Amino acid sequence: MKEKNIIFTARVMSLIFTPFYLPLVGFLALFIFSYMRELPFSYKLFMILFVYLFTVLIPSMLIHLYRRYQGWTPMQLGRKERRIVPYIISIICYVFCFFWMVYHNVPRFLSIILVAALTIQMVCAFVNIWWKISTHSAAIGGVAGALLAFAEIFTFNPTWWLCLVLLVSGMVGTSRMILKQHSLSQVLIGFILGFVSAYIII
The residue-averaged pLDDT of 47-57 equals: 91
The residue-averaged pLDDT of 128-136 equals: 84
* Position with higher pLDDT, 109 vs 119: 119
Give pLDDT, residue 22: 80
pLDDT digits (tens, 9 = 90+) for 116-129: 998 998 888 888 87
For 156, left (φ over 0), alpha (ψ -120 to 50), or beta? Answer: beta
Residue-level length of the chain:
202
Percentage above 90 pLDDT, the chain: 27
Give pLDDT, residue 75: 67
pLDDT band at 8 (very low <50, low <70, confident <90, very high): confident
Is residue 187 within 8 A of residue 177, CB to CB? The reply is yes
Is residue 144 within 8 A of residue 165, CB to CB? The reply is yes
Cα distance between residue 12 and residue 103, in whole Å: 37
Residue 99 pLDDT > 80: yes
Is residue 48 within 8 A of residue 27, CB to CB? The reply is yes
Q: Comparing C-alpha atoms, which of 157, 140, 147 is closest to residue 192?
A: 140
The residue-averaged pLDDT of 24-46 equals: 86
The residue-averaged pLDDT of 77-84 equals: 72
Is residue 113 within 8 A of residue 146, CB to CB? The reply is yes
